[in-house]
Every structure is written in C-alpha cells, then in structure tokens.
Structure 1
Amino acid sequence: MSRRTIVVMPGDGIGRLVLNETIRILKVAGFDADYVTGDIGWEFWCKEGNPLPKRTIALLEKYKIGLFGAITSKPKEDATKELAAVLQNKGLVYSSPIVGLRQYFKLDICIRPCKSYQGNPLNFIRRGKDGGIEEPKVDVVIFRQNTEGLYSGVEWSNPDNIVYAALTSHPKFVKNFANVPREDLAISTRIFTKTGTTRIVMAAFNYAKKKGYKSVTLCEKPNVIRETSGMMFRLAKEIQRKKFPEIELWNTNIDAQMMWLTKNPENYGVIVAGNMFGDIVSDGFAGLIGGLGFACSAQMSEDGIAVFEPTHGSAPKYADYAISIVNPIAMVESACMMLDYLEEKEIAIRIRKAVAEVIKEGKIQTYDMMRMNGNADVISKGAASTRQMADGIIEKLKAKHFNNPDYEYEKNS
C-alpha cells in the first residue's frame, strides 16, 4: 500500500495542541503517513480576510483526508474589527471555515459516536430502583446531516425587496410579522432536501445493520416543524419499511429526547437528525460520557473526501497556558475514526484499548476528569497535562501485551 498523506489543519487555540499529541500517538501506534499542514482559522481571517484559504482547499482536493483541530468564531461585528487595517472597509464578512469546508466538499454525512469508557469518573450515573447507584453503559452513534438546515447560512437582516415579498406571500408571516419594521427582522432559513435527507437516513440505517443495532431513532420535531422535520420523518418511515424492516424506527422530539437521554440512555443506539438538532443531541450524549473532551466526529462526502475532528471548540485561553492542560482524547478518538475509514482497523483498536486502559487505571487524569476548573494551576494540584495524557497512552501502546493475539479489548475495556 502506498504511503498516505494526511492534511492536518490545526486551526486555533487548543486545536494545535491536541493535534500535535495525536500525531505522536499515531506514529507510535504504527500508522505510517506523511502530514502536510493546511491553513485554516482566525489567524488567516485577520491577516488575509479568508479563514479558509484556497490553498487549503487544494490540499484536501489532492489528498482527500483531513485531521482538523478547532476554530475560533466570533460575531460578525467583532470579526470585522479584528481584520488587518489594509482589509478594513472592503466588504469582507466572516463565516465559519469549518462550515465552509463542509459545504464546499459536500461533507454531508457527519458521524458522532458517544461511547462510555469503563472507569471514567465523568460517566453518567443515576439512582437505581433499589436506591443504589447505577452507571448505565452509553453506546450511541449520532448521524447528523451536515450541510443543510439552519447551518446552511441562508440568512438576512433587514431583508431586501425580493426576500420580503417572498415572506409576505406566506399567510402566517402576514398575520404575525406584517407590522414589524423590516429593519427589525433577522431571518435564518432551515432548508432540507430530499437528496440530503435520504443520504443521512440511509447512512444511519446501513450503520445500524452493519453494527447490529436493533433500532434507529429519528430525533427531530415533525409535530411542529412540519415541512422539514416532517419530510425527514416521512422519508425515514419509507426507507425503514422498504429496505430495513428488521430494524425498528423510533421517533422522538428533540426536546423530549434531551430529557430521556438522562433517564434511559442505554436504550438508544443509532440516532439520526438534521444539522442543528444533531449538534444538540450529540453534545447531550457527549455529556454522559465525560463531556467534549471525549467527543469525536467524522464527516465525509460522496466523492471520497473525509475530515475528522473533535467536536469541542478552540478554548483560546487554555492555549496560552505555559503547560497545556486540555484533554486530547477527543482528538485521539477522531484520529481512530480516520483509521477505521482508511481500513487501518488494527491500529485503531490498539489505540482505543490503550486509551481504555489509561482511563480504567485512573492514574493519569486531566483536569476535566478530576472535576477541576480549567485554571493554569491544575497541574500543581495533580491533574495531568495534555502531554502526560498522550505519554500515558503511548506507554500502553508500547506494552508487550498489546502485541499478544490472545489479548481481547472488549474484555478489558
């Protein structure tokens, strides 16, 4: 097999920190690849007026696989103020480069696994029927439509005549908003297409079938958002009936789902949703397995381009600490999803079981795992640094038993 080239896009804040440690782990685990850096994020917005330069797009078009760290995004007015002086008053408008990346490459399938690690002190617990404490096992995979919906960027403030005329053609707009001054209106559209919706629902059912899940849960709001959520529910019912009759289709409203996920999270396996609700429910389930320090994701297109990233933000204040304190596991898990995608499953399993052993052993814990506030002094209070957590994973990877064919990951995780 030819040597692969991976486009690494550190981005902003802690993105660079967790990505560097993850590449160290990949190398020790035996993943043989070259890495080229793609420029993306706030730095390039400020000095070039473009947070997603064409040169980065060209790299992904060439090499197809990307590892992404994190970005900083700010409101429109604040972003404009931070532009270089030579770029001021040129009509430049900031937009999220990761959203732009998804839309440019049509990375419409987003997969966000949320699986609890045994021994993680941040795992969700509840009171059982006998009054004791229960720790349900969470093993949920969220399929999020990644390019449409509320994140598509079709928005207006003070809409122009054409847009306003279209809005006034709807009787509910006339009834509720006709007397609102046009300059007081801010409008965001929620656009679903049958093609995009069908692809994400099919991806969810195919995954459920391949991995042996017994149900797929549609998490939307079809009783109120009748056109978009309603279309998704209708298509899901049709797909389930015609192609996957052996897999149950459950339908939950997003608000009720956020309540139920802390009552019976073990009941859910595969969940599928539109862009906004998929974002919400995946963060909710991430909270049950330890928070965003454990939340990974993959996003891929029909044309074979895929980008893997943790779902946390750039946390810029942490990036300025003399010693990095952030938890790199979400980035490491995202890299494991990349390995799965590249059919490097044995390496992915080795890394995951190394992470599992570090967590179960409990000797190395980052500040979030110790329930500390994210201050610079947490290292002096016993929390592990980003580098120490990566070192712990690397130490496990080098252990002899990882090369023992009789070692079974599931029995030890």
Structure 2
Amino acid sequence: MSKRTIVAMPGDGIGRVVLDETIRILTAAGFEANYVEADIGWEFWCKEGNPLPKRTIDLLEKHKIGLFGAITSKPKDDAASELTPELKNKGYVYSSPIVGLRQYFKLDICIRPCKTYKGNPLNFIRRGKEGKIEEPIVDVVIFRQNTEGLYGGVEWSNPDNTVYAALTSHPKFVKNFGDVPRDELSISTRIFTKNGTSRILTAAFEYARKNSYKSVTVCEKPNVIRETSGMMFKLAQEIQRKQFPEIELWNTNIDAQMMWLTKNPEYYGVIVAGNMFGDIVSDGFAGLIGGLGFACSAQMSEDGIAVFEPTHGSAPKYADFKTSIVNPIAMVESACMMLDYLGETEISRRIREVVAEVILEGKVQTYDMKKMSGKPDVIQKGAASTYQMADEIIAKLKTKHSSYGYEKSC
C-alpha cells in the first residue's frame, strides 16, 4: 500500500518549527506519509504579489489533505508597502491566504475542540462555595461556519453607483447613513445561505450524536442581527426536531456566552456559530484550557479536501529566536484531528495519551505553561524549548510503542 501524501504548508513565523516538530512526532508514532512542502504566506506576497500561489492550490487539489502552520497578515497599506519594488503600484491587493483556501476549496466546516488537559497549570480555575477553588473540566467543540458571514470578503470602500443604489433602497440605511459622503463609507456584508448554514448545523448535531454530547448550542445574536442569526436558529430548530430529537438545542447570544463561559463552562458541549462569532467563542474557550498553545482546528469541504491547523498566529516576535520557545501542542493536536479524519484513530489516541502524560507530569513545560513572558532567556530559566517538548513526547511514544510491540525494525 502506497503512503499517503500530505501537503505541508509551514507558512510564516513559528509555523515552520511547530509543523516540523509535529511531523517528527507523527513519524515516531508510526504514521507513514510523504510530505510535500507547499508555498504560502507573507514571503510569497512580498516576492510574487500572491500569498497563495496557484502551485499550492494545485497540490491540495491533487493530494486533498493539508497540514498548515501559521500565517502573518497585515492591514492593506502595510501589506502594499512591503511588496518588492517592482510589484508596487501594480494593483496587487493582499488577502489572507488561509481565508483564500477556505473560499477556493469551500472548506465550510470548521471544528475547534477545546478540552482540558489534567494537570495543565494554565487551566481555568474559579472560586466556588465557601471560597473553595474549583477547576471545571472543559469539553467543548465549536463548529464554525467557515466561508460565509463577515469573512465572506464582500466589502466596499467608497461604494460605486450600483452598490450605493442598492444600499439606499433600505430605509434604515437612508435614515442612519444617507447624509454620509460616499467616499467616507466602508461596508462589510454578513451573508448567510440556507445551504451553508444547514450544513454546519447538521455537522454539529451529527458530531454531538456520534460523541455522546447532550446539547448543541447556537451562539449568535438573533435579537439584533435578526435575518442572519435568526435564520440560523430557525434552521437549527427544524433540524433538531426532525433529525436529532434526543439532543437538546440551546440558544445563547455571543455577548452573554462570553460572560457565561467563565461562570459555567462545563455546561456546554457542542457550540455552533457563524464565522466571526465562532472565531470569538472558540478563542474564549481556548483561554480556559491554556490559551492558543493548545487550540487546534480542522476545516473540510464537501468534496473531501481538508486542512488542519492550530488557531494561533505566526508570532513573528518569536520566529527569530536562536532557540524556539513556542508550544507545539496546538499543532500536534491539529495533526491528531487529521489522523482521526484519515481513520488512523489508534495513532491519534496514542499521541494524545502521551501528550496528556507529559502535561500531567509537568517535568517538561514550555514558557507559556510556566507562566513566563516570552523572551529568549526562558530556556535558561527552566522552560522547555519547542524541540525539547517534541523530544519528550517522542521519547514517551517510543517507550509505549516498545512495550506494546509497536516498534518496527529498521
């Protein structure tokens, strides 16, 4: 049987180091694959005026599965200023390559698990009755609609006549913005479709059923954003009633949810939201399990293309450190989601089991786990480097593989 080919996209900043170390871990765990590196990110924007070259799209179309590190994104004017001289003032406009991937391949289903690791010093704690310190177990999976909503990219500054005429057909626009000069207007749309909304809702309910979650929470703002959020909750009610009557359907507003997630995070199971609110609530829950160093994600299309990535950024301030200090666990967890998607559930189980052991033991901790500021001297102060964390995971994997008969002869 031939090995799978995985499209490895390091991207920018710390993306390369966390991806490289994760591939080391995958190999040590027994996952056999060929990795083909693909170009994406800021370097290619500056050199080519395109952070998502067609050659990278072609690789994903061919091989279907991608592991992605991180990207750097900057505002429009800053991006334009960093183009190589021969590309400046040629009409190139920067857009996020990861958003571009989502749109091109219709990676509309985004899954972001946020689960507590026992012994993680960064876990959320609260004060309970009689001042007792409590550490609630968080086990939340956010389903985020990935291609529509505010991230759909339908935007204008100084809208043209056609767009402006459409806007002025709405009485509230005329009342509230009709006297604003057109060249002072910047407009972003929030578009939900019935098909896209139904797909993310159905995926959330199916996941809840398969993994024995008791509830699905729609986290939007239907009391104010009545058309889009309202449609999502109405469709959720129909889908729950017709297909998933055994699963409770809850409804929360995004602002209230952000308050409640620190009050009773253990109450929630599967949460589903549109693009922006899904982004917000997933970062909120990630903060309860240790921050973005533990936040993983998967995004997939109806056509079988899937990309797996940590939700953290490229952290350029850390990228040039002589020894990398960043926590690779979010990337490792994202790779485990890839393994599950590919049916390699035994390998993903072993990796997660070992990561849990490393965290519980607490002998090897990156700077964030030690609650240090991210500076180059944290290694001298006892924090583990990115490589040391990966080495510890690999050492435990090898010990377990040997004891269970998993080691292969060379």
Superposed counterparts of 1:70-149, under 5 Å: 70-149=70-149
Match of 2:249 in 1: 249
Closer, same or farther: CA 179–400 of 1 in aligned 2, 3 Å: closer
Closer, same or farther: CA 129–64 of 1 in aligned 2, 3 Å: same
- Cα distance, 1:317 vs. partner? 1.2
Match of 1:370 in 2: 370
Where 1:89 maps in the other structure, the secondary structure is: coil
Match of 2:383 in 1: 383
Match of 1:225 in 2: 225
Alpha-carbon distance between aligned partners in 1 of 2:296 and 2:146, rounded to the nearest angstrom: 15
Q: Which amino acid aligns with 2:328?
A: P
* Deviation digits for residues 352-378 of structure 1 (CA, Å, limit 9, x no counterpart): 011000000000000000111111111
Alpha-carbon distance between aligned partners in 1 of 2:338 and 2:401, rounded to the nearest angstrom: 24
Alpha-carbon distance between aligned partners in 1 of 2:254 and 2:402, rounded to the nearest angstrom: 41
Closer, same or farther: CA 199–403 of 1 in aligned 2, 3 Å: farther
Closer, same or farther: CA 177–85 of 1 in aligned 2, 3 Å: same
Alpha-carbon distance between aligned partners in 2 of 1:269 and 1:392, rounded to the nearest angstrom: 31
Q: Is the 8 A contact 1:111 1:142 kept in 2?
A: yes
* Deviation digits for residues 285-335 of structure 1 (CA, Å, limit 9, x no counterpart): 000000000000000000000000000000011010000000000000000
Residue 212 in 1 paired to residue 188 in 2? no
Q: Which amino acid aligns with 1:294?
A: F
* Deviation digits for residues 187-214 of structure 1 (CA, Å, limit 9, x no counterpart): 0000000000000000000000000011
Question: What's the TM-score once normalised by structure 1's chain length?
Answer: 0.97
- Cα distance, 1:75 vs. partner? 0.4
Number of residue-to-residue matches in the alignment: 405
Where 1:16 maps in the other structure, the secondary structure is: helix
Query: Which of 121-130 and 290-299 deviates more?
Result: 121-130
Q: Which amino acid aligns with 2:377?
A: D
Closer, same or farther: CA 258–402 of 1 in aligned 2, 3 Å: farther
Q: Which amino acid aligns with 2:149?
A: G
Any stretches of 5+ residues in structure 1 without a counterpart?
406-413
Where 1:293 maps in the other structure, the secondary structure is: helix
Alpha-carbon distance between aligned partners in 1 of 2:400 and 2:277, rounded to the nearest angstrom: 44
Closer, same or farther: CA 105–401 of 1 in aligned 2, 3 Å: closer
Alpha-carbon distance between aligned partners in 2 of 1:272 and 1:400, rounded to the nearest angstrom: 37
- Cα distance, 1:402 vs. partner? 7.4
Alignment RMSD: 0.9
Superposed counterparts of 1:166-205, under 5 Å: 166-205=166-205
Superposed counterparts of 1:274-285, under 5 Å: 274-285=274-285
- Cα distance, 1:397 vs. partner? 0.4
Alpha-carbon distance between aligned partners in 1 of 2:337 and 2:244, rounded to the nearest angstrom: 25
- Cα distance, 1:400 vs. partner? 3.7
Q: Which amino acid aligns with 2:393?
A: I
* Deviation digits for residues 158-194 of structure 1 (CA, Å, limit 9, x no counterpart): 1111111100000000000011111111100000000
Q: Which amino acid aligns with 1:321?
A: F
Alpha-carbon distance between aligned partners in 1 of 2:170 and 2:84, rounded to the nearest angstrom: 43
Q: Which amino acid aligns with 2:382?
A: G
Alpha-carbon distance between aligned partners in 2 of 1:178 and 1:196, rounded to the nearest angstrom: 32
Alpha-carbon distance between aligned partners in 1 of 2:119 and 2:345, rounded to the nearest angstrom: 24
Match of 1:50 in 2: 50
Where 1:8 maps in the other structure, the secondary structure is: strand
Match of 1:411 in 2: none
Alpha-carbon distance between aligned partners in 1 of 2:99 and 2:178, rounded to the nearest angstrom: 33
Closer, same or farther: CA 299–402 of 1 in aligned 2, 3 Å: farther
* Deviation digits for residues 137-166 of structure 1 (CA, Å, limit 9, x no counterpart): 000000000000000110011111111110
Any stretches of 5+ residues in structure 2 without a counterpart?
406-410
- Cα distance, 1:2 vs. partner? 2.8
Q: Is the 8 A contact 1:350 1:402 kept in 2?
A: no
Superposed counterparts of 1:241-320, under 5 Å: 241-320=241-320
Q: Which amino acid aligns with 1:250?
A: W
- Cα distance, 1:128 vs. partner? 1.4
Alpha-carbon distance between aligned partners in 2 of 1:346 and 1:33, rounded to the nearest angstrom: 16
Match of 2:339 in 1: 339
Alpha-carbon distance between aligned partners in 2 of 1:402 and 1:112, rounded to the nearest angstrom: 32
- Cα distance, 1:401 vs. partner? 7.4
* Deviation digits for residues 198-231 of structure 1 (CA, Å, limit 9, x no counterpart): 0000000000000001100000000100000000
Alpha-carbon distance between aligned partners in 2 of 1:18 and 1:403, rounded to the nearest angstrom: 28
- Cα distance, 1:89 vs. partner? 1.2
Alpha-carbon distance between aligned partners in 2 of 1:235 and 1:123, rounded to the nearest angstrom: 35
Where 2:256 maps in the other structure, the secondary structure is: helix
Q: Is the 8 A contact 1:354 1:396 kept in 2?
A: yes
- Cα distance, 1:130 vs. partner? 2.8
Where 2:36 maps in the other structure, the secondary structure is: strand
Where 2:297 maps in the other structure, the secondary structure is: strand
Where 2:130 maps in the other structure, the secondary structure is: coil
Alpha-carbon distance between aligned partners in 2 of 1:342 and 1:397, rounded to the nearest angstrom: 20
Alpha-carbon distance between aligned partners in 2 of 1:143 and 1:23, rounded to the nearest angstrom: 26
Q: Is the 8 A contact 1:108 1:146 kept in 2?
A: yes
Match of 1:409 in 2: none
